[in-house]
Amino acid sequence: MEPAGSDARPAEPRRAALGIDTYAPLPGVPDEMLGPDGRIRPIWQPLLEHLERQPPDMLARSLARANQYLRDSGVFYRQYGSGTSIERPWPLSHVPVLMAEADWNQISAGLIQRAELLEAVMADLYGPNQLVAGGHLPPALVASNPQWLRPMVGVRPRMGHYLHFIAFEIGRGPHGKWWVLSDRTQAPSGAGYALENRVATSRAFADLFSLQNVHRLAGFFRDFRDRLMAARDDHDARIAILTPGPWNETYFEQAWIARYLGFMLVQGDDLVVENGRLMVRTVSGLRPIDLLWRRMDGDYVDPLELNPASRIGTPGMVSALRSGGLNMLNALGSGVLEARAMMAFLPKLAPILTGQSLAMPNIATWWLGAQAEHQAIMAAPERMALSRALDTGLPFDSDPAPILAASLDPAELQRRLTEQGPDLVAQETVSLSTTPALIEGRIVPRPLSLRVFLARTADGWQVMPGGFARIGATDDPTALAMQRGGAAADVWIVSDNEVPAITMAPSRGGPYRRSAPSTLPSRAADNLFWMGRYVERTEQITRILRARHIREAESGRGAEPLQAALDKLLKTYGLEPGAPIPKGLIDTLSAAVASAGQVRDRFSTDGWSALSDLEKTARQMAGRVAPGDDAARALSAILRKIAGFSGLVHENMYRFYGWRFLTLGRLHERALGTTGIVAALAQPDAPHGALDLCVELGDSVLTHRQRFAISTSRETVIDLLVLDPMNPRSVRHQIDQMMAQVSELPGGVEQGEYSALGRAVLRCQTEVATETPESLDGEALDALGTRIADLSTLLTEAYLR
Amino acid sequence: MTTYRMQIAFQYAFERPAGSGRQLFRILPATIPGRQSVLDAAIRIDPDPVETREFVDFFGTRVIELVMPPGITELELILEADVRRVAHEIGLDISTPLARLAAEIAGHRGLDAASPHHFLVPTPRIPRIPAIAGFARKATAGAETAREALEKLGLALHAHMRFDAKATDVNTPPAEAFELRRGVCQDFAQIMLAGLRSLNIPAAYVGGYLRTLPPPGQPRLVGADASHAWVRAWCGADAGWIDYDPTNACFALGDHIDIGFGRDYDDVAPVTGMMRLDGAQTGTHSVDIEEAPVQTQSGPLSWTPLALAFAPKSRAAQTDDPLHEPG
């Protein structure tokens, strides 16, 4: 069975160059690609052959495709350190981790058992508390856990279960067995990143992926979503994802999942509790939310009854849960299960609560709150790491780093145990298996830990067939951390049989019914409105600057009076006119990017890329360009990029409220800007050339030439830039369009009656429509500007609060 | 047994109309079988709240939940209650020897509100404070039992600190008040809690009211007719919880009216919510307690539904910060 047309036997040098022949596991460390006998596991053969067949430049192109995908879709995570935070590109380790379906089924069974166990522990801790009363869990451990949220004790979850979407961090120990390294029950992240890794990796190895029977991920998400949809009480109620906001390190993923599943993405500020129900503030007023998927730590959710320091919560959320007006998942307080010290007790709780021992053990853990454990650690401190009992997450990932018990002298160890015992756990030091990674063109073993996701579906717990693999930066199998420069990899569960292709579309009986678009949260509307304004303002500033530098290049000193007029105009934008690309321009653009960043779930990744690219370009140019011709050309480039972004948005965005607010922002800013420009440059005492400049800034040079066979006069300029409804740059045109948009907003026109905003726009429209070039003197233009500016306030009051 | 008629009033004025807001009030006297009962309680709120609700929190405190309409510039809440308080004797010291206390705590299984386990852990407001731990160690040197330690620490603290309503505010950390050697009942209680917890004695923060008539020839108790705070220490399985008032250097035996208890101020804060978050406001808070005529009514009135009604308001004394426990 040789593939036609290609030599089946790869060139030996290629195999050697990739390091396949010399690939060797580390001493005493199991490897995913090599079996215990040192032979390559069969499921890895196709991948290796694929790699061997590819000439180096083609392989490089394949890998670049994956990276390009991640860049294009804006995958990043936010890294915190020393008081600053930066967005980092996603480090992908291109070689996926391959696992045989049979092995995976065993892992899944163990993790489902653990999920059931955690659900039972949770139900007890927030219910009868019999585990503590029966002596199975130390009361002090529960009482000292800040994630045991006392207000939630006795509050039953409306859906009947506490846990719905959880994750486990697992690793393979020295004897080849899988261990649970940590439990993620609060609000685990990574499932969206896992999906992105899948898409990127399947781009790099497209042929290979389609040939192998790799389990698809979409079914897992579909079943989870369908279960949530079915859990709603009424079909108009909404499902939302609660995010801490754009500064959260995994905000990108939250926005991504919201888009993928079609849920609304909300922040604490968007929500209000009314009569025991959770409501979201939208441009159509308050709308109920029936189900909230929480991606925020539990204690931050309600400043009133939980952590009073929280600025990202919603007062009354606990009250809504108490009165049964809200489904939340995972239930508030589920973070209590994550504490490292709980792992000391879960193995003993399993037989009591599930009737069986743990099928997959967790790393050996001792809570040091009692004498017996102290003696055990003192007697055998080797291979024991001490860390904080209530910390969560991976043992080797904690801050401060764990301390090896054997590294302390016995007196010091004894002192720590006596003084801090209940605050500490001892855990057996972890070593992990390795998996192949492509580093500088060679396959080398790198340590691996795996995050596996479980969701509760209509058929009970389901394990995502795949996961999020973390690949260590060095070959040290004990130290591994994404935050310290590791990478992520896709996980392929390979079946012997063909796997069904799965889409996200739910199977539906009956004829197709288009669902009504969901309404728009006020915060999102606010950000879209301002994004529209800032982008338009950037364009205006850029045009003015360009005009100034063209004149500087062409006319030198002769243009001074005009430049003075332009500088005065720039000052109205708060700009210091000296620099070719002044800070004020960058700031305006950054404000646009910041607004866009708040609503990333609402527009396309192309749009986002175009906008952030625009900002990057402007920043790069700012330091480099010289005044005059050089600056004019740079500013022209920026203008073209702005046009590109506007085009993308205008062509692609769904014509609903979001687009309307974005459009209103742009129209409003343009009406305001053009009025200001005409008022400044079309005065009777304006310097020579000001009228032409005015037409140039209004981007209407061509139109003017076509419409008027004469040179510019005050009358022609005002007619074209203010009064002419046919000119898409005129003030009249902006206001006409605003009127059309405002009429379509919720409550815009009711039984023929306009809203307060609608009436104000209509008055503006009438005013502009009834003016003449003669009647529009400086004073009238200023008055018109004020009127237009006031529209923003009315709009904010009506929709954006 | 004494019956008190009390009136608690909160008044707020806002510089600009406040957005609608959710408020929690922990101001209702508690019902403690055999010790304290509420004969009658009524609350008046002006303007009319949009929503009212009542619940009992984890530690058993009755909480009133209000949502005020948007745009209000004034808010007044008046609670009138008749409370019956039974005085008790401090009695013989049957508390646990300190050496055995840790074992008794460890032997206590359970996490109900009265479990000692909640009250040993540092909280954001009351962290571990070495200076106070050192003070507590010295002050309780030679104490045999938990109650003895409680009293010794209370007396020492009372001698060390000066009552000063101006020196601190509601958010002054106990370490700072201890350093200043000044404060009000909240500071006294928080410092004492830090001390007791450092000695591994479980200790709770108690919020309530205090009213006393000075006995002839003796000074009036500080903080009389006011919101007040003191401590409650777990002195072993037999002795249970014992209340001590460090501001007045005495056990709380019959003059103190309980609202509720918790790990620190946040668990029993009289007002939580937007009124506390909004800076541009002024407020007054007054407490007026008088002995009521002897009542013949008896029987279990452990749970009185709130009567929300409107009536003419009365004014009372002012303090600068309505939320700072004056006691």
Residue A156 three-state SS: coil
Question: Which residues of chain A are within 8 Å of residue B323 when distances are taken between CB atoms?
Answer: none
- Name the residue of chain B whose CA is nearest to A154's CA: B58
Q: Residue A574 carries which DSSP code?
A: T
Closest CA to A408 of A397, A396, A420: A420
Q: How many angstroms separate the CA atoms of A598 and A555, rounded?
A: 44
Q: How many angstroms separate the CA atoms of A305 and A318, rounded?
A: 7
- In three state form, how does the secondary structure of A239-270 look? EEEECCCCCCCCHHHHHHHHHHHCCEEECHHH
Q: How many angstroms separate the CA atoms of A398 and A376, rounded?
A: 24
H runs (alpha helix) in A380-477:
410-420
- Name the residue of chain B whose CA is nearest to A125's CA: B111
Tell me which residue in A151, A275, A309 faces B57 most closely, judged by beta carbons.
A151
Instruction: Tell me which residues of chain B, numbers 17 to 46, contact chain A at a CB-CB cutoff of 8 Å.
Output: 21-22, 24
Is the predicted pLDDT of residue A739 greater than 80, yes or no? yes
> CB distance from A388 to chain B under 8 Å?
no
Residues whose CB falls within 8 Å of the CB of residue B87, separated by 6 or more in sequence, listed in order = B1, B2, B253, B254, B255
Q: Do B115 and A139 touch (CB under 8 A)?
A: yes
| Residue A133, burial from CB neighbour count under 10 angstroms (0-12, 13-18, 19+) | middle
Report CA A661 to chain centroid distance, whole Å.
22
Residues whose CB falls within 8 Å of the CB of residue A372, separated by 6 or more in sequence, listed in order = none
Distances from the Cα of A312 to the Cα of A258, A711, B43, angstroms: 19, 59, 32
Closest CA to A646 of A614, A671, A599, A602: A614
Residue A152 three-state SS: helix
Structural contact between residues A617 and A625, judged by C-beta atoms closer than 8 angstroms: no
Q: Residue B161 carries which DSSP code?
A: -
Is the predicted pLDDT of residue A236 greater than 70, yes or no? no
Closest CA to B317 of B227, B193, B207: B227
pLDDT tens-digit readout, A561-590: 888 888 888 888 888 877 888 888 998 998
Domain ranges of chain A: 364-428, 520-653, 654-801
pLDDT category of residue A506 using cuts at 50, 70 and 90: low
pLDDT value of residue A508: 53
Q: Tokens 């705590």 appear where?
A: B105
pLDDT value of residue A629: 87
Question: Which residues of chain A are within 8 Å of residue B65 when distances are taken between CB atoms?
Answer: 319
Q: Tokens 């600057």 appear where?
A: A545
pLDDT value of residue A393: 80
Q: Which CATH architecture has domain B2-86+269-308?
A: Sandwich (2.60)
Is the predicted pLDDT of residue A516 greater than 80, yes or no? no
pLDDT category of residue A179 using cuts at 50, 70 and 90: very high
Structural contact between residues B242 and B197, judged by C-beta atoms closer than 8 angstroms: no
Instruction: Tell me which residues of chain B, numbers 179 to 238, contact chain A at a CB-CB cutoff of 8 Å.
Output: none
- Name the residue of chain A whose CA is nearest to B113's CA: A150
pLDDT tens-digit readout, A270-319: 999 999 999 999 988 899 999 999 999 999 999 999 998 888 999 999 99
- One-letter amino acid of A154: G
Q: Do A309 and B124 touch (CB under 8 A)?
A: yes
A178-215 in b/e burial notation, b at 16+ Cβ within 10 A?
bbbbbbbbbbbbbbbbbbbbbebbbbbbeebbeebebb
Two tokens, residue A192: 């969206």
Count of residues in chain B: 327
The dihedral through the CA atoms of B32, B38, B43, B49 has a sign that is positive
Instruction: Tell me which residues of chain B, numbers 89 to 148, contact chain A at a CB-CB cutoff of 8 Å.
Output: 105-106, 108-112, 115, 117-118, 120-121, 124
Q: How many angstroms separate the CA atoms of B129 and B191, rounded?
A: 9
Residue that wins the pLDDT comparison between A259 and B306: A259
pLDDT tens-digit readout, B130-165: 999 999 999 999 999 999 999 999 999 999 999 988
Can you tell me the mean pLDDT for A624-638?
A: 89
Question: Which residues of chain A are within 8 Å of residue B117 when distances are taken between CB atoms?
Answer: 139-140, 142-144
Q: Pick the range with the lowest mean pLDDT from A135-149, A408-422, A473-487, A643-657.
A: A473-487
Q: How many angstroms separate the CA atoms of A143 and A425, rounded?
A: 16
Per-residue pLDDT tens digits of chain B, which is 327 residues long = 788 888 888 888 776 666 668 889 999 999 999 889 998 889 999 889 999 999 999 999 999 999 988 878 888 889 999 999 888 888 899 999 999 999 999 999 999 999 999 999 999 999 999 999 999 999 999 999 999 999 999 999 999 999 988 888 888 999 999 999 999 999 999 999 999 999 999 999 999 998 766 666 766 555 456 789 999 999 999 999 999 999 999 999 888 899 999 999 999 998 888 654 344 456 677 777 877 655 444 443 333 344 433 333 333 333 344 444 445
Two tokens, residue B287: 């407490």
- Phi and psi for A323 in degrees, rounded to 5? -90, 5
Question: Which residues of chain B are within 8 Å of residue A269 when distances are taken between CB atoms?
Answer: none
Is the predicted pLDDT of residue A523 greater than 80, yes or no? yes
Structural contact between residues A146 and A132, judged by C-beta atoms closer than 8 angstroms: no
Q: How many angstroms separate the CA atoms of A268 and A244, rounded?
A: 7
Q: Pick the range with the lowest mean pLDDT from A21-25, A386-390, A499-503, A768-772.
A: A499-503
Question: Which residues of chain A are within 8 Å of residue B118 when distances are taken between CB atoms?
Answer: 143
Count how many Cα atoms sit within 13 Å of the Cα of residue A70 in the half-sphere of its side chain: 28
Q: How many angstroms separate the CA atoms of A541 and A551, rounded?
A: 16
Two tokens, residue A520: 């728009």
pLDDT tens-digit readout, A743-799: 989 888 888 888 899 999 999 999 999 999 988 988 999 999 999 999 998 998 888
Can you tell me the mean pLDDT for A62-83?
A: 70
Domain range B98-267, its CATH number among 3.50.50.60, 3.90.1150.10, 3.10.620.30, 3.40.50.2020: 3.10.620.30
pLDDT tens-digit readout, A765-781: 999 999 999 889 889 99
**Cβ count within 10 A of residue B112:** 14
pLDDT value of residue B245: 95
Q: Do A143 and B117 touch (CB under 8 A)?
A: yes
pLDDT value of residue A707: 83
Distances from the Cα of B176 to the Cα of B47, B51, B133, B229, B246, angstroms: 39, 39, 14, 18, 17
Can you tell me the mean pLDDT for A122-151?
A: 95
Q: Do A309 and B108 touch (CB under 8 A)?
A: no
> CB distance from A153 to chain B under 8 Å?
yes
Instruction: Tell me which residues of chain A, numbers 184 to 223, contact chain B at a CB-CB cutoff of 8 Å.
Output: none
Two tokens, residue B108: 């206590």
Q: Do A316 and B106 touch (CB under 8 A)?
A: no
Structural contact between residues B19 and B73, judged by C-beta atoms closer than 8 angstroms: no
pLDDT value of residue B300: 38
Q: Using alpha carbons only, give the angle A562, A565, A566 rounded to the nearest 5 degrees.
A: 90
* Residue A392 distance to chain B (closest CA, Å): 19
pLDDT category of residue A79 using cuts at 50, 70 and 90: low
Closest CA to A221 of A185, A245, A197, A194: A194
pLDDT value of residue B296: 44
- State ipTM: 0.88
Residue that wins the pLDDT comparison between B304 and A709: A709
Q: How many angstroms separate the CA atoms of B291 and A375, rounded?
A: 59
Structural contact between residues B51 and B315, judged by C-beta atoms closer than 8 angstroms: no
Q: How many angstroms separate the CA atoms of B28 and B42, rounded?
A: 10
- Phi and psi for A13 in degrees, rounded to 5? -60, -35
Q: Do B22 and A142 touch (CB under 8 A)?
A: no
Q: Using alpha carbons only, give the angle B57, B60, B65 rounded to the nearest 5 degrees.
A: 40
Question: Which residues of chain A are within 8 Å of residue B115 when distances are taken between CB atoms?
Answer: 139, 143
Two tokens, residue A267: 């922040």
pLDDT category of residue A419 using cuts at 50, 70 and 90: confident
- Phi and psi for A318 in degrees, rounded to 5? -65, -40
pLDDT value of residue B310: 33
Question: Which residues of chain A are within 8 Å of residue B51 when distances are taken between CB atoms?
Answer: 274-275
Two tokens, residue A163: 């846990």
Q: How many angstroms separate the CA atoms of A408 and B152, rounded?
A: 39
Q: How many angstroms separate the CA atoms of A299 and A147, rounded?
A: 7
Q: Maximum distance among all alpha carbons in chain A?
A: 101
- One-letter amino acid of A49: E
Report CA A475 to chain centroid distance, whole Å.
31
Q: Do A132 and B109 touch (CB under 8 A)?
A: yes
Q: How many angstroms separate the CA atoms of A173 and A179, rounded?
A: 7
Q: Do A143 and B124 touch (CB under 8 A)?
A: no
One DSSP character per residue, A63-102 reads HHHHHHHHHHTT-EEEEEETTEEEEEE--B--SPEEEEHH
pLDDT value of residue B214: 65
Domain ranges of chain B: 2-86+269-308, 98-267
pLDDT category of residue A551 using cuts at 50, 70 and 90: confident
Report the first-to-last Cα separation within chain B, whole angstroms.
23
Q: What predicted TM-score, i.e. pTM, was given to this entire model?
A: 0.85
Kind of pairing between the strands at A178-184 and A384-388: unpaired
Two tokens, residue B317: 């004394």
pLDDT value of residue A404: 86
Q: Name the percent of chain B in helix, strand, coil, to the closest 5.
A: 20, 35, 45
Tell me which residue in A129, A315, A322 faces B22 most closely, judged by beta carbons.
A315
Share of chain A above pLDDT 70, in %: 92
